[in-house]
């Protein structure tokens, strides 16, 4: 049995530092469990001068990735530089040299997964990516191994900590999106350019990966319907409360015969659902399997040490394969690569759900009858109505929720309603999940 | 690659039926994921006449376990008869013949694990027991594989669905323990003899297994402090609510240097903690790893199909090892058997936590001062006091909660207090978890 397993780390930022720290601090217990030592032999970064607050031998630091790629003793490469071009290059290069790869790069895998997973299969190497979805929460392992006997009926997830932090703060502290975003940036919970997080793109990367693992399907990220949270207003959060809901940025996937419904948008959830109470920068995933029923997992979706914990679980998994002289007991995407085919998504037009509308109505007689008339024409049945609040520039908010309705009907009805001369602005639409969550 | 993997099932009760049903209904998707077929070749039960509502070939049913144990083609034996004697005999016999075992028998593993795990190690066979802790929730896999890089700082779990169902119902419907137990029995959520579930013994089996996996320690079940829920009264549930708590039967483990604190008892949890909102017959586990932070998992801890889902995940895991020609990549109890040593538990006397007391006081002057005087003598500091409610037989309930106090001090103080002539009955003690949960 080989007693030392040599690792190369590309990218010595926050997560990279966390991994080195974890392998140092918990060296004994990891060695005791694994029966071998995980040894970082080289670390590559463009900055090898700045101290990371941990002790690392000067001789293992380098700016040249070839020192890792060309070292035959290094059997696992940890890619943590993020982004597309360089990361992809290093991963393909490492695999070409027969090295296993562990990465947290969801953007890369969601975008270039097809190429990367195919090469990994040809080269008979492993790619660990537990940290890429749900951070420290064992999402990849649960879908790929624990739910292996199930048809996965649905997936509901709060997959982005930044958005969840912002929405939780807006809800609890009654502050605007802009104010809270600024606070989040100051606290380090949001990037200087927060687009990926707040516009749902990061969530889409994670949903795409989860779909691939759940259904053995290639997902074209462009096909997933995405709405971010930058338009979510305090006013709608207030009305939601009044109706018994909180607003969360939810990733939703539902299995329909041969089609998969997949969408990401701000969603109203009833107070008493388990996902509603996931606050701050936590992530949570709710799966329903046809045999398992509800399986709910919750934890830190990002952060130095939680992410390092997931990376180390991948390292140990790969090391265990190596120590037994096998590779990839578990298919990378749950299904052997030859069994993976293209996904067919349910067109957004055909989605059926409940809706919340906030109309901007001029305070004139007959407005309710006009709006509800149009909704009726499109078979949209009203569940609740609230009309209250101060008039601003002659306009009052009229809020309605609906029974299950078809997206296409809703979009057409809103188009007609917004063209009415008694309506003074674009109607706000937020989807509600009442039914399918338990 | 072997395309059929033959299984023998011993015990054709509810769970056994669920497994056969799941392997039939989801045969295609399991085969697609695994790349092989899981085939039940023989089913043993004392009753092979009664219909289980599924179609099973008459020729695969037998009353003679030797037909499985002696069949060289059967490589995995699923033990589902429960109990100790026969189950242990079948498992040891199957392993002696080189067969892998999958079981949901927590009582057996918690009691005779030492012998069974040692034999499995010698015989180089696998024992899958994911279904034995947390039912469908992937507890074993999460501790053994996902948290492998962590020191597990604490484990808090609602590990018994029957007790949780009873406490939830008492809380929500304001019904007595006896009434709800009867309802649970009628609904099939409680056994005719509910002792194992309501007295915390089933929880102790699960905690013992989880401790072994978390710390690589042999746990003597007798050493774990256990209190069940049969003495939990509606009155205390009501006072708990008033103080901002719900009562749950909690399994608690906390790592202290070389000692592990491990105890099971009704526990008051603050309303807003994630475990507090685990209701009905659900189970939930909250781990804190030194790197991962909080990891929370929730799902069905029992039931036909949820348990079958966990058993199938074990079958696939073992099949994947077999197909790669290896055995046991992952040590049975997280650590290689040679690294497993005896656990040292923190004596219950040394536990420090917060307490709820309900004193039965005669309605006389000076009673509060007498009680609080004794508490003070034992360094027990009072956090809140409630005195209200009707007098019964001249006795009024006086409720107090404490700041962190030592169990030994508390027991001695209560002994003195209960001996006071102004106290008319044994004081009720319920421990509170305020601090360490997040």
Identify which of B146, B293, B320 has the shortest CB distance to residue A329: B320
pLDDT at A2 over 60: no
- β-pairing verdict for B282-289 and B293-300: antiparallel
Q: What percent of chain B has pLDDT over 90?
A: 87
Q: Which residues, including other chains, have CB under 8 Å from residue B434's CB and lie 6 or more apart?
A: B270, B354
For residues B34 and B38, give the distance between their C-alpha atoms in angstroms, rounded to a whole number.
9
The residue-averaged pLDDT of A198-206 equals: 97
- Taking the CB of residue B385, how many other CB atoms lie within 10 A of it? 13
Nearest to A316 by CA among A97, A17, A7: A7
| pLDDT score, position B48 | 93
3-state secondary structure (DSSP) of residue B33: helix
Contact B138 A148 (CB under 8 A): no
The residue-averaged pLDDT of B347-361 equals: 97
Q: Which of B270, B291, B304, B327 to probe by mutation at the A interface, max A CB count within 10 Å? A: B291
For residues B3 and B209, give the distance between their C-alpha atoms in angstroms, rounded to a whole number.
34
Contact B142, B115 (CB under 8 A): no
Q: B263: which strand partners?
A: B225, B252
For residues A154 and A270, give the distance between their C-alpha atoms in angstroms, rounded to a whole number.
18
Q: Per-residue confidence at A401, pLDDT binned at 50, 70, 90? A: very high
**Nearest chain B Cα distance for residue A121, angstroms:** 15
- The pLDDT tens digits for B289-318 are 999 999 999 999 999 999 999 999 999 999
Is B1 exposed, middle or buried (CB count within 10 Å of its CB: 0-12, 13-18, 19+)? Answer: exposed
Q: Per-residue confidence at A63, pLDDT binned at 50, 70, 90? A: very high
b/e per residue B388-409 (b: at least 16 CB within 10 A): eeeeeeebbbbbbbbeebbbeb
DSSP annotation of B221: G
pLDDT at A18 over 90: yes
Interface contact A397, partner B, CB < 8 A? no
For residues B113 and B124, give the distance between their C-alpha atoms in angstroms, rounded to a whole number.
16
Domain A139-299 carries which CATH code?
Answer: 3.30.360.10
Contact B313 A137 (CB under 8 A): no
3-state secondary structure (DSSP) of residue B175: coil
For residues B222 and A382, give the distance between their C-alpha atoms in angstroms, rounded to a whole number.
60
Q: Which residues, including other chains, have CB under 8 Å from residue A426's CB and lie 6 or more apart?
A: A360, A418
For residues A430 and A240, give the distance between their C-alpha atoms in angstroms, rounded to a whole number.
10
Q: Per-residue confidence at B393, pLDDT binned at 50, 70, 90? A: confident
All CATH 3.30.360.10 domain ranges of chain B, comma separated, are 139-300
**Closest alpha carbon within chain A to B297:** A297
Interface contact B147, partner A, CB < 8 A? yes
pLDDT at B56 over 50: yes
Helix (H) or strand (E) holding A368: helix A367-377
The residue-averaged pLDDT of A105-112 equals: 94
Identify which of B32, B148, B306 has the shortest CB distance to residue A292: B306
For residues B204 and B227, give the distance between their C-alpha atoms in angstroms, rounded to a whole number.
10
| pLDDT score, position B221 | 85
| pLDDT score, position A435 | 64
Domain A349-432 carries which CATH code?
Answer: 3.30.70.260
Evaluate whether the domain defined by B139-300 bears CATH number 3.30.360.10: yes
The residue-averaged pLDDT of A167-182 equals: 96
b/e per residue A399-414 (b: at least 16 CB within 10 A): bbbbeebbbebbebbb
Rg value, chain B, Cα: 24
For residues A368 and A396, give the distance between their C-alpha atoms in angstroms, rounded to a whole number.
12
**Nearest chain B Cα distance for residue A147, angstroms:** 7
For residues B329 and A325, give the distance between their C-alpha atoms in angstroms, rounded to a whole number.
10
For residues B425 and B328, give the distance between their C-alpha atoms in angstroms, rounded to a whole number.
56
Domain B4-135+304-339 carries which CATH code?
Answer: 3.40.50.720
| pLDDT score, position B427 | 98
Is A41 exposed, middle or buried (CB count within 10 Å of its CB: 0-12, 13-18, 19+)? Answer: middle
Interface contact B308, partner A, CB < 8 A? yes
B25 vs A contacts (CB less than 8 Å): 290
For residues B108 and B112, give the distance between their C-alpha atoms in angstroms, rounded to a whole number.
6
All CATH 3.40.50.720 domain ranges of chain A, comma separated, are 4-136+304-341
pLDDT at A8 over 60: yes
DSSP annotation of A203: H
Contact A316 B148 (CB under 8 A): yes
- Taking the CB of residue A286, how many other CB atoms lie within 10 A of it? 23
- The pLDDT tens digits for B4-44 are 999 999 999 999 999 999 999 999 999 999 999 999 999 99
Contact A158, A275 (CB under 8 A): yes
pLDDT at B107 over 90: yes
The residue-averaged pLDDT of B394-407 equals: 95
All CATH 3.30.70.260 domain ranges of chain A, comma separated, are 349-432
How far CA A117 is from CA of A113, A321, A333, A335, A377, in Å, comes to: 6, 18, 8, 12, 49
Contact B210, B155 (CB under 8 A): yes
Identify which of B151, B313, B334 has the shortest CB distance to residue A146: B313
Interface contact B134, partner A, CB < 8 A? no
For residues A240 and A198, give the distance between their C-alpha atoms in angstroms, rounded to a whole number.
20
The residue-averaged pLDDT of A118-146 equals: 97
Domain made up of A4-136+304-341: CATH architecture: 3-Layer(aba) Sandwich (3.40)
Positive or negative, the CA dihedral B40, B41, B44, B45 is: positive
How far CA A315 is from CA of A103, A312, A336, B219, B292, in Å, comes to: 10, 5, 21, 29, 15
DSSP annotation of A163: H
Contact B293 A310 (CB under 8 A): no
Contact B145 A141 (CB under 8 A): yes
Class of the CATH domain delimited by B350-432:
alpha beta
Interface contact B29, partner A, CB < 8 A? yes
All CATH 3.30.70.260 domain ranges of chain B, comma separated, are 350-432
Residue count of chain A: 438
- β-pairing verdict for A217-218 and A341-342: parallel
| pLDDT score, position B277 | 87
A298 vs B contacts (CB less than 8 Å): 274, 294-298
- Taking the CB of residue B214, how many other CB atoms lie within 10 A of it? 25
Contact A30, A38 (CB under 8 A): yes
Q: How far is CA A325 from the centre of its chain?
A: 34
Contact A316 B292 (CB under 8 A): no
Nearest to B214 by CA among B162, B269, B157, B131: B157
Helix (H) or strand (E) holding B414: helix B407-418
Q: A162: which strand partners?
A: none
For residues A3 and B328, give the distance between their C-alpha atoms in angstroms, rounded to a whole number.
18
Of chain B residues 67-126, which have a CB less than 8 A from chain A?
A: none
pLDDT at A272 over 90: no
Show which residues of B are catalytic.
Answer: 206
3-state secondary structure (DSSP) of residue A255: strand
For residues A113 and A235, give the distance between their C-alpha atoms in angstroms, rounded to a whole number.
40
For residues B267 and B431, give the distance between their C-alpha atoms in angstroms, rounded to a whole number.
5
Count the alpha carbons within 13 Å of B152 in the hemisphere toward its beta carbon: 28
For residues B429 and B431, give the distance between their C-alpha atoms in angstroms, rounded to a whole number.
7
Q: Per-residue confidence at B273, pLDDT binned at 50, 70, 90? A: confident
Interface contact B3, partner A, CB < 8 A? no
pLDDT at A325 over 90: yes
All CATH 3.30.360.10 domain ranges of chain A, comma separated, are 139-299
Q: To the nearest 10°, the Cα dihedral for A262, A263, A268, A272?
A: 30
Contact A197, A225 (CB under 8 A): no
- Taking the CB of residue B7, how many other CB atoms lie within 10 A of it? 26
A150 vs B contacts (CB less than 8 Å): 26, 309
| pLDDT score, position B257 | 87
pLDDT at B437 over 70: no
pLDDT: is A288 or A188 the higher one? A288
A26 vs B contacts (CB less than 8 Å): 149-151, 290-291
| pLDDT score, position B435 | 64
Contact A188, A88 (CB under 8 A): no
Interface contact B1, partner A, CB < 8 A? no
> What is this structure's pTM?
0.96
pLDDT at A437 over 50: no
How large is the angle between the packed helices A367-377 and A407-418, nearest 10 degrees?
Answer: 150
- Supply the mean pLDDT for chain A: 94
Give the least confident one: A88-97, B17-26, B236-245, B385-394: B385-394
b/e per residue A213-233 (b: at least 16 CB within 10 A): bbbbbbbebeebbbbbbbebe
The residue-averaged pLDDT of B354-364 equals: 94
For residues A82 and A102, give the distance between their C-alpha atoms in angstroms, rounded to a whole number.
12
B331 vs A contacts (CB less than 8 Å): 33, 35
Cα–Cα–Cα angle for A195, A411, A217, rounded to 5 degrees? 60
A32 vs B contacts (CB less than 8 Å): 216, 335, 339
Q: Which residues, including other chains, have CB under 8 Å from residue A49's CB and lie 6 or more apart?
A: none
Identify which of B317, B329, B335 has the shortest CB distance to residue A33: B335
| pLDDT score, position B2 | 52
- The pLDDT tens digits for A362-390 are 988 889 999 999 999 999 999 999 988 77
Interface contact B316, partner A, CB < 8 A? yes
The 3-class SS string of B91-148 reads HHHHHHCCCEEEECCHHHHHHHHHHHHHHHHHHCCCEECHHHCCCCCCHHHHHHHHCC
Residue count of chain B: 438
Identify which of A277, A324, A326 has the shortest CB distance to residue B274: A277
- β-pairing verdict for B293-300 and A293-300: antiparallel
Show which residues of A are catalytic.
Answer: 206
B274 vs A contacts (CB less than 8 Å): 277, 298
């Amino acid at each position: 049995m080989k007693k030392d397993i040599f690792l190369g780390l590309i990218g010595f930022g926050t997560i990279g530092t966390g991994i080195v720290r974890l392998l140092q601090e918990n060296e004994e217990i990891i060695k005791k469990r694994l029966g071998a030592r995980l040894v970082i032999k080289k670390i590559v970064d463009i900055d090898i001068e700045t101290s990371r607050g941990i002790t690392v031998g000067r001789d293992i630091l380098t700016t040249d990735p070839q020192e890792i790629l060309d070292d035959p003793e290094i059997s696992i490469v940890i890619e943590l530089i993020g982004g597309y071009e360089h990361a992809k290059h290093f991963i393909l290069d490492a695999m070409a040299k027969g090295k296993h790869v562990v990465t947290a790069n969801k953007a890369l895998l969601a975008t270039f997964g097809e190429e990367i997973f195919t090469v990994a299969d040809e080269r008979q190497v492993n790619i660990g990516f537990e940290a890429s979805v749900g951070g420290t929460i064992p999402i990849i392992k649960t879908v790929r191994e624990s739910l292996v006997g199930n048809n996965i009926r649905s997936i509901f997830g709060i997959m982005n900590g930044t958005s969840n932090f912002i929405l939780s703060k807006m809800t609890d502290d009654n502050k605007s999106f802009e104010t809270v975003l600024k606070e989040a940036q100051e606290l380090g919970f949001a990037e200087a350019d927060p687009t990926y997080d707040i516009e749902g793109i990061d969530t889409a990367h994670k949903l795409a990966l989860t779909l691939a693992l759940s259904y053995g399907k290639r997902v074209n990220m462009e096909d997933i319907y995405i709405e971010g949270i930058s338009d979510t207003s305090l006013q709608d959060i207030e009305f939601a409360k009044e109706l018994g809901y909180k607003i969360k940025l939810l990733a939703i996937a539902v299995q329909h015969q041969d089609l998969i419904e997949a969408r990401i948008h701000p969603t109203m959830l009833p107070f008493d659902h388990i996902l509603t109470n996931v606050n701050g920068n936590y992530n949570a995933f709710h799966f329903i399997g046809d045999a398992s029923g509800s399986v709910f997992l919750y934890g830190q979706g990002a952060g130095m040490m939680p992410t390092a914990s997931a990376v180390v679980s991948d390292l140990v998994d790969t090391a265990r394969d190596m120590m037994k002289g096998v590779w990839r007991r578990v298919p990378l995407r749950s299904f052997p690569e030859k069994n993976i085919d293209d996904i067919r998504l349910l067109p957004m037009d055909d989605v059926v759900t409940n809706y919340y509308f906030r109309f901007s109505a001029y305070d004139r007689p007959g407005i309710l009858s006009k709006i509800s008339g149009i909704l009726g024409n499109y078979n949209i049945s009203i569940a609740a109505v609230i009309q209250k609040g101060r008039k601003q520039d002659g306009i009052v908010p009229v809020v309605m929720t609906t029974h299950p309705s078809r997206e296409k009907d809703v979009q057409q009805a809103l188009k007609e309603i917004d063209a009415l001369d008694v309506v003074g602005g674009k109607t706000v639409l937020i989807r509600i999940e009442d039914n399918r969550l338990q």
